[in-house]
């Protein structure tokens, strides 16, 4: 697909065809494209949990929607998505990378990071995956995960990895028009002076 068309078509989909699975090679291409994202110091402090089987997906929705959690994860219509990718940020990879000789910071020097780039870079990776989804003729939704602990426990994720959200992917059913309009570039772009 032509790049400008990918950008134009990208939007979040919240409902998926339950009878169409996503071919493995497309899932591999999407998640591999996630690893092409930029990262500070080329730290690549991220990890991606890919869930495809009905059992794993049911477990995901169960552990992220337990009673007592602050807010439900995703709306029920998203539960038909045949693929879920959970992008995790790994802060320690940045602290370790920036303690290497070419960077020269003290070990575990978190104060260096005014912006926590482990989250920024994992978001870049999420965006390359979202664009790859569109390029593959699929749809996706990025949504929040409120409580990481049960998710980590269910899938054996080390505590050092923090989920920045989750991406549900599938063949979208026709979407409702967006409720909130997109801001015009003039409202947010400042040329030369704010
Ligand atoms: C960090 C982040 C968290 C989001 N969380 C949710 C969510 O929990 N549930 C949901 O339905 N949409 C969620 N969205 C989707 C946004 O609502 C959506 O991107 C926005 O309305 C713009 O629409 P568009 O992406 O279709 O252009 C999230 C998006 C981002 C970037």
Residue 94 lies in a domain: yes
Cα–Cα nearest to 51, from 34, 33, 31, 66: 31
Residue 61's alpha-carbon distances to 20, 53, 56, 107, in angstroms, are 19, 13, 9, 38
Per run of 10 residues, the mean pLDDT along the chain (length 194 residues) is 97 94 98 98 98 97 86 84 98 98 97 97 98 98 95 98 98 83 96 98
Find the residues whose C-beta lies inside 6 A of ligand 1: 11-12, 14, 141-144, 165, 178
Q: Tell me what pLDDT residue 75 has.
A: 82
Distance 39 CA to ligand 1 centre (A): 23
Nearest atom in ligand 1 to the alpha carbon of residue 12 is 26
* Domain range for 79: 3-174
Report pLDDT for 178.
74
pLDDT at 66: 84
16 and 170 Cβ atoms separated by less than 8 Å: yes
Collapsing DSSP to helix, strand or coil, 48 comes out as strand
Inside any domain, residue 181: no
Q: Which atom of ligand 1 is nearest to the CA of 78?
A: 11
pLDDT reported for residue 179: 77
Q: What is the pLDDT of residue 67?
A: 80
Angle between helices 54-63 and 148-155 (to 10 degrees): 150
pLDDT of residue 54: 97
Residue 37 lies in a domain: yes
- pLDDT tens string 102-133: 999 999 999 999 999 999 999 999 999 999 99
192 assigned to some structural domain:
no
* Structural domain includes residue 40: yes
Task: Measure 52 CA to ligand 1 centroid, in angstroms.
Answer: 22
- Any domain includes 179: no
| Residue 59, in any domain of the structure | yes
Within a domain: residue 109?
yes
Question: Could you tell me if 10 and 172 are in contact, meaning their C-beta atoms sit under 8 angstroms apart?
Answer: no
The total number of structural domains that make up the chain: 1
Ligand 1 atom closest to residue 144's alpha carbon, by position in its atom list: 8
Looking at residue 24, which CATH number applies to its domain? Answer: 3.40.109.10
Does the model's pTM come out above 0.85? Answer: yes
């Amino acid at each position: 697909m032509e790049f400008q068309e990918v950008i134009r078509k990208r939007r979040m989909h919240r409902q998926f065809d339950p009878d169409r699975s996503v071919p493995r090679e497309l899932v591999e291409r999407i998640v591999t494209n996630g690893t092409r994202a930029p990262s500070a110091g080329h730290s690549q402090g991220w990890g991606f949990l890919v869930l495809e089987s009905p059992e794993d997906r049911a477990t995901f929705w169960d552990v992220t929607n337990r009673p007592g959690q602050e807010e439900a994860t995703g709306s029920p219509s998203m539960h038909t998505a045949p693929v879920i990718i959970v992008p995790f940020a790994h802060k320690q990879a940045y602290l370790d990378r920036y303690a290497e000789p070419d960077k020269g910071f003290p070990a575990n020097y978190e104060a260096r990071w005014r912006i926590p780039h482990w989250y920024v870079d994992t978001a870049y990776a999420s965006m390359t995956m979202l664009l790859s989804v569109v390029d593959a003729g699929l749809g996706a939704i990025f949504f929040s995960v409120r409580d990481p602990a049960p998710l980590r426990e269910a899938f054996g994720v080390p505590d050092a990895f923090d989920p920045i959200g989750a991406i549900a992917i599938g063949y979208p059913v026709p979407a409702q028009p967006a409720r909130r309009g997109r801001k015009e570039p003039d409202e947010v772009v400042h040329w030369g002076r704010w």
